[in-house]
Chains A and B, each alone.
Chain A
Amino acid sequence: MITSTHPPAADPESKLRPSRYGIALAVSALVIVALIASSILNYVFLDTVPGRTSLYGLLAVALITLGTFILVRAYNRDRATRRVHLIRAAVLIGIGVLLWLLVIDVFLYTQSAGPGVAAVCALACLPTTAFGLWVVRRMDRNHKEPWRLVLVAAAWGAIVATSLVVWGETVWESSAQHTLVPGPGLDTSLAFMAGILEELAKGLAVLLLFLVMRNEFDDVVDGIVYGAAVGLGFNFLESISYMTNLYSIFSPEGFGGVAAGIQWYGRQVLGLFFGHATYTAYIGAGVGIARQLPTMRMKVMAIGAGFIIAIAGHFSWDAWATFFPIQNTLFGLVEIHLRTLIMTGPFTAGLIALLLFGIRYEGQNLLDQMQKEAATGQGAILPQEVPILASPWQRLRQRLQALNRAGPSGYLRVSRLQTAQLDLAMERWHRERKEIDTPLEAEQQLREKVIQLRHWVAA
């Protein structure tokens, strides 16, 4: 029976943690104040359907925010109290999700297209978004992120980030429509609005994840994973919103389903990775790189750079996509794909380049740490295990061999052992670079956990 848990996350004497948590608290307070103010202002002054949603949905947003916070922190607690915190988090998230669904069904989509259509649209977007999250998580070949955090990131993108932008976008759009000349000037202003406000809202979620769960936010690769997950969550809710809206507009003309289907294809297939996921992944990349940089100036520059690329990418699509000629013929279908490839493709290609370089950089450093750990002779990582652990394919082969020998439980045991060994290498890497605030005992605890798991696997 394995009784060890994750090592204690905090060094009581660490000077880093209080300031990091202070920033996280300040950002959270800012988000909460913005949400409450936005919701009340929406309700009082705008009195639009989304405005009402943002007020009635406030409780749901608060429940989900609190629930996800308790969830991510639960894994830093010892096994005895973790269960209580997990149950608490599950109850809060569950109530929050139900309340949110009720709110959007009743106040937003019901008026627009009806709850049935909203449910069908949500169901249509679920498998594609789930696939997107699976791919994004798989991209981290050396050290996969926990599902709970990837899902929390997506939930924040879908619920908190979308709620944050409602007021800002409504005010910007309304004042622009009242003051600017309709046409390209107004379109450019609205493109700036979407780029700035939506990327700031999504970026806050990434930043908060980093501040609260820095121990799970290792480097540029993790940043890209969390950023893309936030983007996929945002894209999920935005897709439902556009699909139901267009359905309600075009259904009296007899092609509401077609209009919603085209939106689904554009946002959930063609634009699944070429859109919000790419833009917000840049913010994550900036935060991930900043996490390992030595000076505050460089950290701020890296985070700022991530935000600028994300805003520019989002802006360029919104402002210039209409300039790309789409003919009203069969070739128009090809042009739609070409437009996405040409306009968002370079941003996605740049991100893939950062990701590949990041994976190589992470892999080389983990290999180095595994070799150093093997050389200590403490038995957590054996010299002959190093080449296997360094290669995702060889790790998979080892797990499959365990599956053949001992069935699914064997596969899972070897998987846990490999994960713990990689955790140890990652911990060593951060400690060597002095970018970790857990005490040295935490590393020893991880080592003991690996040794216990090894006995378990052998048994």
Chain B
Amino acid sequence: MGSVTDIQLRTLYRTLLVFATVGVVILAIGLIQFAYFERPGQASGVKANIVGVYKYDPAAGQTTGPDRAEYARNEEFAAVVDWSSIPSNLTVDARWYDSFGSIEGEVGPGTPAGLTNDKVVPVQVPPGYHFVLPGRYTFVVERLQDGVPVEVLGRRFVLVDRT
């Protein structure tokens, strides 16, 4: 019986190793996926000038007040980008991401010169909602290559309170 036990145990052990091999393949695919979207050697040294994040009046399409990093839930806000701070040969865009990683407002992609009229980038209230969702918002100005964002040229974080 001892040898039968050993054979059974070995079968269990080998099955586990086979599963682990599948696990290694999955993790390797994950690393490749990460490397594809977070391509090495993409640092251009360019910095986008995000002037600030201000309270936004959607009816007038204008920003008001001081630059802030925290807003109440019933306030709308927008980032202001100085597109002239970015070299004109780059393809760029600007996006707001909410805490779930969803895009809640964007301009571009295009050249900095083409986006000059879009210097105010407001956060959109999701369709059917009364207010923006609370949580941490990330605003980024990105450089694109072959349609894929490859580098963040500027970044700001804004906290939207729950109350």
Residues of A within 8 A of B (CB): 111-112, 177-178, 180-189, 191-192, 220, 248-250, 252-253, 282, 285-286, 289, 292-293, 298, 301-302, 304-306, 308-309, 311-313, 315-316, 319, 350, 353-354, 357-358, 361, 364-365, 368, 432-433
Contact = CB atoms under 8 A, between A and B. Distances in A.
A238 B30 CA distance: 24
A240 to B, nearest CB: 17
Contacts of A306: 16, 20
A123 B101 CA distance: 30
Given A181-B37, A188-B37, A365-B1, A305 B152 contact: no
12 contacts: A181-B142, A181-B151, A183-B101, A253-B131, A286-B16, A305-B17, A312-B24, A316-B26, A319-B33, A350-B19, A354-B16, A433-B5
B94 to A, nearest CB: 11
B149 interface: yes
Interface in B123-148: 129-131, 133-135, 138, 140, 142
A361 B162 contact: no
A182 B97 contact: yes
A311 B25 CA distance: 12
Interface stretch (B7-15, B52-60, B110-118): B7-15
Given A112-B162, A433-B5, A312 B23 contact: yes
B119 interface: no
A315 B37 contact: no
A180 B27 contact: no
B117 to A, nearest CB: 24
Contact of A304 (B20, B26, B73, B138): B20
Contacts of B34: 185, 188-189, 192
Interface of B: 1-2, 4-5, 8-9, 11-13, 15-17, 19-20, 22-24, 26-27, 30, 33-34, 36-38, 73, 95, 97, 101, 129-131, 133-135, 138, 140, 142, 149-152, 155, 157, 162
Given A178-B155, A181-B151, A308 B20 contact: yes
B158 to A, nearest CB: 12
Contacts of B155: 178
A364 B8 CA distance: 10
A354 B15 contact: yes
Contacts of A309: 16, 19-20, 22-23
A302 B16 contact: yes
A187 B23 contact: no
A289 B16 contact: yes
Contact of B162 (A192, A248, A302): A248
A302 B17 CA distance: 7
Contact of A181 (B22, B26, B30, B150): B150
B8 A361 contact: yes
A322 to B, nearest CB: 8
Nearest to A306: B16
Contact of B27 (A293, A308, A368): A308
A315 B149 CA distance: 23
Contacts of B15: 353-354, 357
B93 to A, nearest CB: 11
A277 B95 CA distance: 37
Contacts of B27: 308, 311-312, 315
Given A181-B142, A293-B13, A302-B13, A312 B131 contact: no
A289 B9 contact: yes
A426 to B, nearest CB: 13
B38 A180 contact: yes
Contacts of A292: 9
Contact of B149 (A183, A188, A285, A433): A183
B149 A181 contact: yes
B33 A184 contact: yes
A282 B129 contact: no
Contacts of A293: 9, 13
A285 B19 CA distance: 12
What 6 pairs between A and B have smallest CB-CB spacing? A185-B37, A312-B23, A305-B20, A185-B38, A312-B26, A308-B23
Given A289-B12, A306-B16, A252 B131 contact: yes
B128 to A, nearest CB: 8
